[in-house]
Amino acid sequence: MEDDFSVPHYKIKMVENTQLLPREKRIGAIKRCGNNVFSLKSEEVFIDLLSDSGTSAMSDSQWASMFHGDEAYSGSKSFFRLKEAVQEVMGFPLIIPAHQGRAAEKILDEVLVKKGDVIPGNWHFDTTRAHIEYQGAIGIDCVTKEALEPAIFHPFKGNIDLEKLESVIKKHGKEKIPYILLTITCNSMGGQPVSIQNIRDTKKLADQYGIPLFFDAARFAENAFFIKKREKEFENHSIGEIVAEMFSYVDACTMSAKKDAIVNIGGFIGLRNQELYDKLVPIAILLEGYPTYGGMSGRDMEAVATGLREVISEEYLAARIGQVAYLARKLDEAGIPIIKPPGGHAVFVDGKAFLPHIPQEQFPSQALCTQLYIESGIRAVEIGTCLAGRNPQTGKNVMPKLDLMRLTIPRRVYLREHMDYIVESLKRLYARREQIKGLKFSFEATGIRHFKSRFEVIE
């Protein structure tokens, strides 16, 4: 695991007060929400670990840069400042701004993906896969086999398995593959990184078949930090140099700025090819707006530009990833079953191992999330059997290998004391784990069902 003691190189200038409701009120709140933490009001939550997306604390420089926001409909100065920052950090000369990551995905897929196509990758994020499927295509996950073994330590569990990738290319043919996608870090695998060697090898294979290679770059800086710490060749490189090297192998990227640009909203497509840019722009105008703002206000573009330069600070990343590693180490020491090593943005608790008496069809990690909220006002999220949904062909519940509770850490928001509180809360829950009961649906929502479903406790 990463060195987890790194003093943050920032201090706090403004605070947002939080409240811990009394236990009785927490029980009432979770009951009202049908045992689904998504329906809680944020004022009912003491520590919010639902997502690291758009939940970060911006710096004084980011807030200050927002005052320079140029809200011109066309040719905004803020757009050119964002373009310059993307070029400087990622090396892309062309950008199309979008209001968030999924909007960038939609523009790209609308133009490049058609019915019957196949998009291989390490492991697509939910919205990425949904957009691919919306076009009538399929996403194929080719992540390295070690990623699916929670007990195995592997430094780059986000890597793509090149043999699997090549067999997908051979099976479907390059005409059916508009691009290959590497998600860095790989969110669906717990924020696990991809090595430069793996990026290089993927590029070589992609070139061999003449297929473009793209990044889903939401957590690109966190990925670069892991490369520095775990890939010998890069131990003496700066994060900026590693980021430049990573991006030098890809033709384009989609970016959710809500993660590693440390802002609350925003995104873009970064690319090199003018011809592709010209094809994407008409769709971007239709879906997002004129290409010099595309779904973002001028002030938002300023904050993204500043955030992109801030996030490649090694001191920042050491504190960020160190905080996640600290939480993981403390939980591990307390005997709480977690996925190891932790990734960059979250710690995953193994719900099935925590609650072995609850069968998987009774949603152990969902039960754990509701109990953690009742225990201590902490909101975590289930990434397991509820989220996995039903097989569209058979209508049966999908039983994923892993049923997890994700503790997602927002950037620059919580302190070490908060991490200790989370550990103590989970220790208390673990001590009384046999009393925790399984859940069943009282209302099963359609679509991505974990947002809106309701549950009742199985007595």
Residues that bind ligand PLP (CB under 6 A): 53, 100-102, 125, 127-128, 183, 187, 216, 218, 256, 258, 267
Residue 183 or residue 453: which is nearer to ligand PLP going by CB? 183
The one catalytic residue in 29, 104, 218, 252 is 218
The one catalytic residue in 60, 126, 278, 420 is 126
Residue 216 appears among annotated catalytic residues: yes
Residue 53 or residue 323: which is nearer to ligand PLP going by CB? 53
Residue 178 or residue 438: which is nearer to ligand PLP going by CB? 178
CB of 290 to ligand PLP, least distance (A): 20
Q: Give residue number: closest CB to ligand PLP.
A: 101
CB of 121 to ligand PLP, least distance (A): 10
Residue 259 appears among annotated catalytic residues: yes
Residue 215 or residue 354: which is nearer to ligand PLP going by CB? 215
Residue 73 or residue 451: which is nearer to ligand PLP going by CB? 451
Residue 70 appears among annotated catalytic residues: no
For tokens 């892993």, name the residue: 402
Closest CA to 349 of 405, 403, 432: 405
CA angle 56, 77, 63 (to 5 degrees): 25
Q: Provide the 3-class DSSP secondary structure of residue 221.
A: helix
CB of 219 to ligand PLP, least distance (A): 7
Residues counted in the chain = 459
The HSE-up count of residue 443 (CA atoms within 13 Å, CB side) is 9
Closest CA to 366 of 404, 338, 408, 328: 404
**Whether the Cβ atoms of residue 417 and residue 164 lie closer than 8 Å to each other:** no
Closest CA to 284 of 274, 293, 276, 294: 294
What stretches of 161-275 adopt beta strand conformation (E)? Answer: 180-183, 213-216, 252-256, 267-271
Residue 332 appears among annotated catalytic residues: no
b/e per residue, 249-279, with b = 16+ CB within 10 A? bbbbbbbbbbbbbbbebbbbbbbeeeebbee
Tokens of 298: 């001028």
Q: Provide the 3-class DSSP secondary structure of residue 124.
A: coil
The one catalytic residue in 4, 216, 350, 403 is 216
CA distance 297 to 293: 6
CB of 52 to ligand PLP, least distance (A): 8
Residue 72 or residue 111: which is nearer to ligand PLP going by CB? 111
CB of 187 to ligand PLP, least distance (A): 4
Residue 92 appears among annotated catalytic residues: no
The one catalytic residue in 258, 259, 352, 418 is 259
The one catalytic residue in 3, 25, 31, 73 is 73
CB of 139 to ligand PLP, least distance (A): 12
Catalytic residue set: 73, 125-126, 216, 218, 259, 450
